[in-house]
Amino acid sequence: MTKKSRLQGLSVSSSVLSLLAREPEGNVHSVFRRSANLLLGPSELIGLVDADAGNAPNAVVLQTFDGDLPGLLPGFLPGMPMRCREGCILIGDGIAVELGGAQVWNPDPEPPAVLRTRAGLAETRMKLTEAIDAWGSEAGLRAAVMAALKRDDAGSPGLGSPGDAGREMDRLGQIAQPRLKRLFDAFSRHDGPETLAAALSLVGLGPGLTPSGDDFLAAFAGTMVLGERWGIGANPATAGLVRGLAAGIRGKTTLAGETLLRPALEGHLPEHLAEMIRELVGASVDSSPGIAAGCTPKIQKVLAWGSTSGTDLACGTLAALDFLIRNR
Amino acid sequence: MILAEGGTGSGFGRPDAPVVTKILVRKNSYYDSVTLMSISTKVLALPGVAEAVVVMGTDHNKELLGNVGLLTAEAGAAEPNDLVVALKAADDQVLAAAAEAVEQLLTRRAASGEAQTEVAPRTIASARNRLPEANLAVISVPGRYAAREATQALRNGLHVLLFSDNVSVEEEIGLKTFAAERGLLMMGPDCGTAIINNVALAFANVVRPGNIGVVGASGTGTQEVTSLIDRLGAGVSQVIGTGGRDLSPRVGGIMMLQGITALGEDPSTAVVVLISKPPAPEVARKALSALKATGKPGVVCFIGGDPAMVEAEGLIAASNLHDAALKAVALSRSEEIKPFAWDPAWNLEEMASAEAARIASGQKYLRGLFSGGTLCDETMLILRREIGNIYSNTPLTPDFKIDGDRGFRHSAVDLGDDRFTVGRPHPMIDPTLRLDKLREEASDPEAAVILLDVVIGYGSHPDPAGALAPVIEEARRKAAESGRYLSVVTSVCGTARDPQNLDEQAAKLRQAGALVAPSNAAASRLAALIIKGLESR
């Protein structure tokens, strides 16, 4: 018999709150070491995560999670029914997640007070490249992104020399690299249809519950959307890319991939990623002594995410920065 | 649950090599990406497994499977939320073993709710959550990232021992200031030795608890003093490392001052010992003043520094590391402080005289090969008083810098210097370089005495004397075959409770024909006496 327990929500995204206000019913979709997913209806996923994971557009952060100690969600099993009543998520017959005292997290990140200059952006882009090179996962799309970003003699996309462009690619990289190149070429030409076609060829591609291609695209599109919203630069192909992906991803990837990608197309990114982007494009300088060392805490937070997800997300932001710099 | 299974497929790798494939599909199965990557890596490592692809069944991943010849009808029928495991192996037996391994790994994860496997924390914050009672972080990462990690640790309320080097002086000042404002210790960068609450950190020895507190800017200097304190029957309360650059004018001894204050406030510390190369005068004055202000008796070993400056503050100056230990122990026992003298019980004169008598007429030089930088410095200072200046890669004065790697006249080489450690472990960890140098120096017909330090304890090679012994024997045998006598003088820095065991290490060296002195200072004195014996012939 399930032991009765009450878990306190620390914060909840405003979009999840709106969803739960309809008092939906569903079930526990999946249970992991530090999180669990609830499935509402056919395709709405809500994550219950620990504070270390941070806020996300689809997430509730639980106060009771204690870092990465084992046994974070005792009693949670996939398939258990869940329902929502009066600000409380009820799971099975013994678990209640209280949202009454939870802070509401707005997935629309605040723009930085002051934006970096073009030279400043180039500098932080280099910092991100170095951090990915030193700390990033070697699996996923990293090598393919770096190779595709490398500027060739014809002046194809890319500023400077990305880190491990010469690194040998695995099969995923060999498949992904020409698709990424096609995406960057089309995007640099402001060719909307071709950009969308290239992006769709990456949806659902690669390892992971959120496949690498989804991680990359979420960060690429999300960074472009935020960059344009914050007045850093604009690319006419962004709007079409966002609209087209929103319409075209259903059934092309996993539920988790779609749950990450869909809000990202509106600039709603996981908190750690959004914070990293704000740091990279904002001119405010963190006075902590570690900043000068290269890999900032915010970059590190993103790179430490999952197996390849963090690196793929960082690569997406890196690619978007290239285009934002060119339009700055 | 295996829902689908493929048959023998076409060749992979070598075109003519028969291979078989198997596809496992789990409907609506969810594992985190770390788990999936881990399964893929583990299965691929099995002998005979040519391919192990673990992906979700999206269209583009099926295309990926097709690209490696693994898109069977079963895999093709998978949907985006299905887990697909595609295996390719040399034969059916290997394939069955691989499939079984996958099943076990997936089942284990599912049964555990993903929660039972111990996973190393990936951030300082999560490590802190894992071990909430922790109050200190030992950080050893590439220098460019070290300051960032140290900052994280300090922000999490942890004291820091920063083993990394290649941290800029600006970062060091920033970190130490940041830590000092929060009442935290920031030991390092490039701090290799500390003992906090009786726990040895990095390169340190198993020293009994006691009432002597040490603040050291020198790793092997601190190891030598604390080991000798133990061997003299006393013990240490806390040993705080500062990093070698702390007492420079720019850093200003931030950590040394904080360490002194901490030991001054520590009720278990009755005596405070400072160990360092001579600091900048203004920094030395601040440190001595702070030590005096604690009101506790203090012993100061600024190796090669001016004792008058120390004594002017009413503190006790030590002339070498052995002297520092002797005086600290005497103070801790409220015994009379005696001037340093070479103990007749060590029989240095007799041993030197006997050795000198056996050395052939053409042999005249001393060659020191050191793993500890401070021990090398101490030796050069002692030898300079006895036999004149010594050549070195880290000389006391620039005029005596060695050109190249080989010993020259009387010389002492610090093999732990950056020049020798690029791309290879420190000689305290890996003796290979020193063994090569030992063979090289011993083959010089003018070499009379080889002087070696042997540093044991945590972090050091598991059996440094055992590694040196056969080479010492070989060198002495070859010398004898060419009508020479090679005197090998050593000391062991460590204690009987160190993992390598002081007594066993000393016995191995003696067995190989080396002389083993009770300290580096004594070994240096012994070597000097041998050379003086040769010069007086």
Spatial CA neighbour of B500 closest among B192, B161, B221, B227: B227
Cβ–Cβ gap B64/A29 under 8 Å: no
- Per-residue pLDDT band for A162 (boundaries 50, 70, 90) equals very low
Chain A closest-CA separation from residue B105 CA (Å): 15
Query: pLDDT at position A67, please?
Result: 40
Give the model's pLDDT for residue B383: 96
Confidence check on the interface: ipTM exceeds 0.95, yes or no:
no
Q: Tell me the shortest Cα–Cα distance from B56 to chain A, in angstroms.
A: 7
How high is the pLDDT of residue B118? Answer: 42
Residue A161: the pLDDT is 43
Q: Which residue has the higher pLDDT, A136 or B86?
A: B86
- The first and second tokens of residue A212, run together, are 């690498």
In this complex, do B130 and A288 lie within 8 Å of one another by their Cβ atoms? no
pTM of the full structure: 0.56
| Residue A207 C-alpha, separation from nearest chain B C-alpha, in angstroms | 5
Mean residue pLDDT across chain B: 88
The partner residue sitting opposite A68, judged by closest CB among B38, B63, B126, is: B126
How large is the average pLDDT for residues B25-48? 79
- Spatial CA neighbour of B56 closest among A250, A9, A254, A279: A254
Q: Is the pLDDT of residue B101 over 60?
A: yes
Please write the tens of the pLDDT for every residue from B429-465. Answer: 889 889 999 999 999 999 999 999 999 999 899 999 9
- Which tens digits make up the pLDDT trace of A242-262? 999 999 999 999 999 999 999
pLDDT at A69 over 70: no
Percent of the residues in chain A that have a pLDDT greater than 90, as a whole number: 51
Instruction: Please state whether beta strands A88-91 and A95-98 pair in parallel, antiparallel, or not at all (unpaired).
Output: antiparallel
As a residue count, chain B comes to 537
Chain B residue numbers with beta carbons less than 8 Å from the beta carbon of A307 are: 32-34, 36-38
- Decide if pLDDT at A65 tops 70: no
As a whole number of angstroms, the distance between CA A72 and CA B389 comes to 66
Residue A168: pLDDT band (50, 70, 90) is: low
- Is pLDDT above 90 for A34? no
Rounded Cα distance, B512 and B502, in Å = 16
Secondary structure class of B80 (helix, strand, coil):
coil
Whether residue A204 and residue B58 make contact (CB cut-off 8 A), yes or no, is: yes
A218 in Cβ contact with A261 (< 8 Å): yes
pLDDT of residue B421: 73
Verify whether the Cβ–Cβ distance A292 to B175 is below 8 Å: no
CB contact under 8 A, A68 and B116: no
Question: What pLDDT score was predicted for residue B13?
Answer: 34
Which of A174-183 are b and which e, b meaning 16 or more Cβ less than 10 Å from the residue's Cβ?
ebbbebbbbb
φ, ψ of residue B25 in degrees (nearest 5): -125, 125
Q: In this complex, do A205 and B125 lie within 8 Å of one another by their Cβ atoms?
A: no
Contact B521, B321 (CB under 8 A): yes
What's the whole-number mean pLDDT along residues B237-242? Answer: 96
- On the question of pLDDT at B110 being above 60, the answer is no
Contact list in B for residue A29 (CB cut-off 8 A) is 30
- Asked whether the predicted pLDDT for residue B37 surpasses 90, the reply is no
Partners of B183 in beta bridges: none
Question: What is d(CA A99, CA A104) in angstroms, rounded to the nearest whole number?
Answer: 10
Question: How does residue B476 score in pLDDT terms, banded at 50, 70 and 90?
Answer: very high
Question: pLDDT exceeding 70 applies to what percent of chain A?
Answer: 85
Phi, psi dihedrals of residue B512, rounded to the nearest 5°: -85, -5
- A10-19, A169-178, A252-261, B402-411: the lowest-pLDDT one: B402-411
In chain B, which residues have their Cβ closer than 8 Å to the Cβ of A308? 33, 37
Q: Which residues of B touch A33 (CB under 8 A)?
A: 32, 114-115, 119
How does B182-214 read in b/e, with b if 16+ C-beta sit within 10 Å?
eebbbbbbbbbbbbbeeebbbbbbbbeebbbbb
CB contact under 8 A, A304 and B114: no
Kindly tell me if the per-residue pLDDT of A63 is higher than 90.
no
The predicted pLDDT at position B514 comes to 96
Statement: residue A188 has pLDDT above 60: yes
Residue A201 to residue B60, Cβ atoms within 8 A: yes
With a CB cutoff of 8 Å and minimum separation 6, the contacts of A221 are A199, A238, A241, A242, A245, A261, A264, A265, A316, A320
Tokens 């044991």 sit at which residue? B456
**Which chain B residues have a beta carbon less than 8 Å from that of A255?**
80-81
* pLDDT tens-place string over residues B381-426: 999 999 998 999 989 888 899 877 777 899 999 998 877 876 667 8
| Mean pLDDT of the region A282-307 | 65
Q: Which residue has the higher pLDDT, B437 or B113?
A: B437
Q: Which residues of chain A are within 8 Å of residue B68 when distances are taken between CB atoms?
A: 171
A254·B56 Cβ contact <8 A: yes
Segment A21-30, tens digit of pLDDT? 888 899 988 8
- Per the CB < 8 Å rule, is A288 touching B151? yes
Range with lowest mean pLDDT among A245-259, B166-180, B487-501: B166-180
DSSP sequence for B251-269? TTTHHHHHHHHHHHH-TT-
Q: Tell me, what's the pLDDT at B11?
A: 27
- Cis bond upstream, residue A57 (ω within 30): no
**pLDDT greater than 90 at residue B211:** yes
Taken in order B530, B534, B535, B537, the sign of the CA dihedral is positive
Lowest pLDDT segment from A163-167, B41-45, B176-180: A163-167
The full 3-state SS of B479-502, as one line of letters, equals: HHHCCCCCEEEEEEECCCCCCCCH
* 3-state SS record for A95-137: EEEECCCCEEECCCCCCCCCECCHHHHHHHHHHHHHHHHHHCC
Q: What is the mean pLDDT of chain A?
A: 84
Separation CA B95–CA B75 (nearest Å): 17
Determine the length of chain A: 328
Instruction: Give the range with max mean pLDDT: A85-99, B22-36, B258-272.
Output: B258-272
Q: Which positions ≥6 away from B31 have C-beta within 8 Å?
A: A32, A209, B39, B83, B106, B109, B114
Q: Is pLDDT at B6 greater than 80 in this prediction?
A: no
- Closest CB to A293: pick one of B36, B60, B148: B148
What integer pLDDT is reported at residue B19 of this predicted model?
75
Report pLDDT for B109: 55
Instruction: Please give the residue of chain A at the shortest CA–CA distance from B172.
Output: A289
Pair A102, A46: CB distance under 8 Å:
no
Alpha helices in chain A (DSSP H): 14-21, 118-135, 142-149, 171-188, 192-200, 212-229, 237-248, 255-264, 271-281, 297-303, 309-326
